[in-house]
A and B are shown apart, each in its own frame.
Chain A
Amino acid sequence: MGVATLAMKSFSSLLAGLPKAVVIEAIYLAGRELALETPSLEIARDTNGALTDDEHSIAIERAKSMIQEIEIEFKTPVAELSRKDRTSLSEGLYRYLRNLTQHGAAVQSQANTYLKEFGRAAI
């Protein structure tokens, strides 16, 4: 089993049972850390009306735990991960989020209509 896969198993247990909005926030924060390569977990204190203060604290704490898990599994700080590992972990996190936010055919059809519109529209 690859190191990224091991980390993902840990993520699943860290996120299990949390409200959807908390999971979204935690994944966003950890993913941001992977994307930007700089400590940024505090950034999402930027208003997010979807969460109470307590829920926000839980999301930050879980995101920090996910980052720590990565650093334990990979035996290196996140900032020093290879591009390949960063991409693999980011994809794994996003896969978890996508599974939470996939919808049925009717919603998919509406989304596709908007996507066509956005693709054509000038800004």
Chain B
Amino acid sequence: MNSMHKLFLWGLKVHILYSAGTKLAYQINQRFYGELHHVWCAPAPTTDSLVGSNPPTSDPWQICSDFSEHVVRGDGHSPLVTNNRAGIIRGAAARHAEGVIDSGTKDVIEQIANAAELQLFSPIFMVIPYSEVKDLVSPVPISERANPLSQEFIIPNLPRGKFDVWEWRR
């Protein structure tokens, strides 16, 4: 059991965590990984301008906004989209090594990541009640955060039943 039962951000108790992803990654998790999602997440930014907030690269709202901009613009060569393809291929290698999928399925996922059209990289926004996942959350070590003061967490196996998800519309 994770020892972090209460999560505080700048002294305030955190109730909700947020995460960003793409429609393609979501569908692959649902279809091939038993509806388990590997997510990086963060609390809502504080409204106090005197305290720090996550850099844009660790801010789910900003990540969704960036993906949306690239998809709307039709930028299929965007480094953000390209790296999401690579991330899906990396995820398939990890799930294969964990025994979640066989090598044939890994090959299919690799091919899906390579062939997917830009629209499938439309962003999704995930809303995760902390009370539902408190035993599943791991804090990202300070040395591995985009910014030492940023609040970032990993949930390696987040069941679909424990979060809400919105398709991001601009």
A residues within 8 Å of B by Cβ? 20-21, 24-25, 27-28, 31-32, 34-40, 42-51, 86-87, 90-91, 93-94, 97-98, 101-103, 107-108, 110-112, 114-115, 117-119, 121, 123
Contact = CB atoms under 8 A, between A and B. Distances in A.
Nearest to A83: B79
A30 to B, nearest CB: 9
Interface stretch (B2-10, B11-19, B41-49, B116-124): B116-124
Contacts of A35: 78-80, 82-83
For the complex of A and B, 7 pairs with smallest distance between CB atoms: A111-B111, A90-B79, A50-B93, A35-B79, A101-B110, A35-B83, A50-B97
B144 A46 contact: yes
Given A118-B27, A123-B124, A28 B87 contact: yes
Given A91-B82, A101-B111, A102-B111, A24 B143 contact: no
**Interface secondary structure of A, over-half rule:** helix
Given A86-B79, A101-B114, A111-B111, A38 B55 contact: yes
How many interface residues does chain B have, given as a range?
35 or more
Nearest to A31: B83
Interface of B: 23-24, 26-27, 31, 40, 55, 57, 77-80, 82-83, 85-87, 89-90, 93-98, 104, 107-108, 110-117, 119-120, 124, 140-141, 143-144, 146, 154, 156, 165, 167
